[in-house]
Amino acid sequence: MSAEQVMSNPTGSDSYANKTNVERDAGVEWWRDARFGMFIHWGVYAVPAGEYGGKVFTGASEWLMHQAKIPASEYRHFAEAFNPVAYDPETWVRAAVDAGMKYLVITAKHHDGFALFPSKASTWNVAEATPYGRDLLGPLVDACRRAGLRIGFYYSQAQDWFNGGSVFGEKWDPVQENDFDAYLDRVAIPQIRELLTTYGPDIPAVLWWDTPSDMTPDRAARVDAAVQAVAPGMLQNDRLGLIREQHPGHFDTPEQRIPANRPGRAWETCMTTNESWGFCASDNAWKPAALLIRQLCEVVSQGGNYLLNIGPRADGTFPEPSLAALREVGDWMRVNGEAVHGTSAGPFPYRLPWGFASRRDRMMYLMIDEWPVGGLLEVPLLDLPETAQLLSDPEAPVGFRIVDNVLRITLPASAPGAAVCVVALRFAAEPRIGNIPSRPRPPVIPQPADGSLALRAADAEIIGDHLSLLGGEDPFLGCWSSVDSHPLWRVSLHRAGTYRVEVIYAVPAHREGTVAEIRIGGQSLPFAATGTGGWGEFCRAPAGVVSLEPGEEVEMRVIPACVPVGAVMNLRAVLLTPCASNECKEEI
Ligand code: H79
């Protein structure tokens, strides 16, 4: 198909204008019911696949241009080798459908500015910059339409390292010295319009924004106005503007994590199958299919969607480990899909010892991740179901009775398989919920004999959804994107007196004014969080002095005062050191 064929749209953009908001809102229902989708990160970065100048970059191959500081004049040569002759959208769509996915979101343009579609706004696009020379999105849209799969577009609206958009951190190429407003008018807004008007009335089904650096309220409003003009009510994520509250979109987007607390509105966890989003030749950290299935269940049990990523190779094929994982997930979904599609969150506010639950009408699905001892499953429900059945083995005997206000389900003594096992319960009426054991709290931190206290990231209770424990072996609290979220430590304090407070944290840029407040035992210290040189450059900085009384559970919190560009900070620890008798006097 030629670029022109794809670019010509028989229905035209006006069909959007004919849709009422109610119809559009009703359109959100499909998204909630879908529960499971495929993310696709594809672009010229699949050519170097995470390697440049003999150096291997892992973690995020789509960031290679940024990580290796490759000038645009050199990076463009990767496009000359981007010729995905094996690209067969039907195969992609079949892989998604067979895995039980109901929608697909593909990177129309990532931060490297490369467009997977013909564009009049920049020649840095597949039709003009590659030997392939034609649209990649159109054929995928067609294949999705034929298969009844919805398709959304990811579009990096702010960062563009090639066309003069914004650049996270230091710039490295003169082409990046540009007026950001001019960039929005010249590239981003025209391309967004192209994406909204080229492929048909319901395409894209979702707009997936990312990294809103420099997207002030004014600029976000300008982009949103351009969207609403052609696609009123367009389903969008929450990453359009810097101030999320101003353009909240339709759903939250926890990235690479599942929120500990159920968000109050629609949400979608996006997750990689290995570590990188784009194809990365050296990345062999593939998640086992059983883990992907467990994550899907956890997300669904909290009422969210799971957007699982594939990074296709430059030739247009999916890496074999991704295909294998999709096949395994598909095998599971064919048996257990009814616990996923069209369900809503289970009645239990968090994970129970054995796993997760979801609901649809009179059905409740118990998704068992850890097989209970002897096959005896305890569920905090006060009413008996009419029927109980193992989806993987409908003939297997499943007993149930209520003992001491707990529904006890008798299952086979050992787990039938490695992946999550689903028990479907059918109730005559809405079952009453029993006492749900309270969420286990991180233990109270004891004060060592020398009186010093290290409040570490890993020991914090996380309040709110917009803060996560990251960093693996060397943990820190990050992705801190809302003032609603903060860490809380409880300390058993036996030594009264004054303490010096220090913070181990990282932020890239210099910031003016108070970023967070450290609240300890009723006292409050402002904390300014000046730049440390990068999100990974942790520094130890003084925050002041507090005077504390002993207590069994003294609460200590770090509460954001605002969310500066990007995030509040990455926080590794708060340290308290008792002052020598005279040392701190003047500071108080
Ligand atoms: O498209 C995927 C990511 O490329 C994108 N969002 C998902 C869906 C994303 N953009 N920015 N971020 C995620 C967060 C920023 C991560 C960074 Fe880094 C940390 C940029 C620089 C340090 C990881 C490590 C990426 C490059 C090096």
- Name the helix (H) or strand (E) containing 93: helix 89-98
Q: Closest ligand 1 atom, CA of 159?
A: 10
Phi, psi (degrees; rounded to nearest 5) at 27: -65, -20
Q: What is the pLDDT of residue 25?
A: 53
Mutate to test the pocket of ligand 1, among 55, 61, 63 (most ligand atoms within 8 A of CB): 63
Ligand 1 center from residue 218 Cα (angstroms)? 24
Which is the closest atom of ligand 1 to the Cα of 41? 1
Q: Which atom of ligand 1 is nearest to the CA of 208?
A: 8
User: Quick one: CA dihedral 73, 74, 80, 83, positive or negative?
Assistant: negative
What is the per-residue pLDDT for 5? 27
- Report CA(61)–ligand 1 centroid distance (Å): 10
- Whose C-alpha lies nearest to ligand 1, atom 3? 277
- 474 CA distance to ligand 1 middle (Å): 19
Dist. CA 111 → ligand 1 center (Å): 10
What does the pLDDT read at residue 16?
Answer: 31
Cα 346 to ligand 1 centroid, rounded to whole Å: 32
Contacts of 148 (CB under 8 A, 6+ apart): none
**Mutation test residue for ligand 1: of 42, 65, 209, 210, the one with most atoms within 8 Å of CB:** 210
Q: In ligand 1, which atom is closest to the CA atom of 57?
A: 27
Instruction: Quickly list DSSP for 380-413.
Output: -BSS--SEEEETT-TTS--EEEEETTEEEEE--S
Q: Which residues contact 457 (CB under 8 A, 6 or more apart)?
A: 469, 471, 475, 476, 477, 487, 571, 572, 573
Q: From ligand 1's centre to the CA of 24, what distance in Å?
A: 31
d(CA 224, CA 232): 10
Contact 417, 392 (CB under 8 A): yes
Residue in the block written with tokens 């050296």? 282
Q: Is residue 397 reached through a cis peptide bond, with omega within 30 degrees of 0 on the bond before it?
A: no
- Among 206, 295, 186, 296, residue whose Cα is nearest residue 249: 206
CA of 208 to the centre of ligand 1 (A): 15
Residues with CB under 6 A from ligand 1: 41, 59-60, 62-63, 67, 210-211, 255, 270, 277, 535
- For Cα atoms 467, 211, 142, give the angle at the middle one, nearest 5 degrees: 115
What is residue 23's predicted lDDT score, i.e. its pLDDT? 40
346-426 and 445-587 agree in CATH topology: no
- Where does 323-452 show beta strands of DSSP type E? 344-345, 355-360, 363-368, 376-379, 387-390, 399-403, 406-410, 421-426, 445-446
Residue nearest atom 15 in ligand 1 by C-alpha distance: 211
Environment class of 393 (CB within 10 Å of its CB; exposed 0-12, middle 13-18, buried 19+): middle
477 C-alpha to ligand 1 centroid (Å):
16
Q: How close is the Cα of 60 to the center of ligand 1, in Å?
A: 7
**Closest ligand 1 atom to Cα of 536:** 22
**CATH fold group of domain 346-426:** Immunoglobulin-like (2.60.40)
335 and 105 Cβ atoms separated by less than 8 Å: no
How would you classify residue 554: left for phi > 0, otherwise alpha for psi between -120 and 50, otherwise beta? Answer: beta
Which pLDDT score is estimated for 499? 95
Out of 3.30.9.10, 1.10.3720.10, 3.10.580.10, 2.60.120.260, the CATH code matching 445-587 is 2.60.120.260
In ligand 1, the atom with minimum distance to the C-alpha of 156 is 1
Domain ranges of the chain: 21-318, 346-426, 445-587
Ligand 1 mean position, distance from CA 63 (Å): 7
Largest interatomic CA distance in the chain: 81
pLDDT less than 70: residues of the chain: 1-27, 438-439, 510-511, 565-566, 581-588
Identify the H or E element spanning 38: strand 36-40
d(CA 387, CA 389): 7
Q: What is the pLDDT of residues 311-358, one digit of tens each?
A: 999 999 999 999 999 999 999 999 999 999 999 999 987 778 899 999
| CATH class of segment(s) 21-318 | alpha beta
Q: Whose CA is nearest to atom 22 of ligand 1?
A: 535
3-state helix, strand, coil in the chain (%, to 5): 25, 25, 50
Q: Which residue has the least CA distance to atom 11 on ligand 1? A: 211
**Per-residue confidence (pLDDT) for residue 429, from 0 to 100:** 95
Whose C-alpha lies nearest to ligand 1, atom 6? 210
Q: 513-551: buried (b, 16+ CB within 10 Å) or exposed (e) per residue?
A: eebbbbbbbeeebebebeebeebeebbeeebbbbebeee
